[in-house]
Chain A
Amino acid sequence: GQQVMQIPQYQHVQEGEDFTTYCNSSTTLSNIQWYKQRPGGHPVFLIQLVKSGEVKKQKRLTFQFGEAKKNSSLHITATQTTDVGTYFCAVAGGTSYGKLTFGQGTILTVHP
């Protein structure tokens, strides 16, 4: 099945600094989804990318899908304390529609 490696595992930033997490695969991905999980919470869907080179923005968040569809990134501009949490990339599909294979996640800590 499709697997994704996510880096870094941890990221500590000062409030106002930027943050980026990367998701990489050795195989071509059909799609990639991003989820955020707050401490003590459940994963919450952020975005899905399906096209080569796709870039989508949500306020301070920018999501990219690589031209070769083997990598993706999530960039947060000017982090805020509300951005704290774990960010996961996940690949949907396989033999079951939408079955998600998650990366290991990047834990973001924002210091005020």
Chain B
Amino acid sequence: DTGVSQNPRHKITKRGQNVTFRCDPISEHNRLYWYRQTLGQGPEFLTYFQNEAQLEKSRLLSDRFSAERPKGSFSTLEIQRTEQGDSAMYLCASSPGGAGNQPQHFGDGTRLSIL
């Protein structure tokens, strides 16, 4: 059973550097979500794709963040000019399409640490 795959698992970088994370969803899932989770908090929605179309971005997502899903399969999340406050776990989730709200399947996340 191939679940949601994320890499890298950990990323340590200096403030001001750019980072890119990758998410490979479950193959038949056409919905893909990015969330951010900090210690002691629930995951916080960042953005959502239906196939290759990015349909919603959180207002919390600054211009330094960009996400793509060019062929409707894997997705990348890039953070430019990283800041200390970007340190968090970045979670990707996917779900099937169709009517209604479906269960979301989460990956293990990428933990970002900004030095």
Consensus secondary structure, chain A interface:
loop
- In the assembled complex, A85 has its CB within 8 A of some CB on chain B: no
Which of B45, B101, B104, B107 has most chain A Cβ within 10 Å?
B101
Task: For B50, list chain A residues within 8 Å (CB).
Answer: 97
Number of residues on chain B facing chain A (CB within 8 A) = 26
| Interface residues as binary, A88-108 with B (CB distance below 8 Å gives 1, 0 otherwise) | 101011111111111111000
B residues adjacent to A (C-beta < 8 A): 31, 33, 35, 40-45, 48, 50, 55-56, 91, 93, 95, 100-109
Nearest first, the 9 closest Cβ-Cβ pairs linking A and B are A102-B42, A92-B101, A45-B103, A42-B106, A96-B56, A96-B48, A98-B101, A43-B106, A88-B42
A residues adjacent to B (C-beta < 8 A): 31, 33, 41-45, 48, 88, 90, 92-105
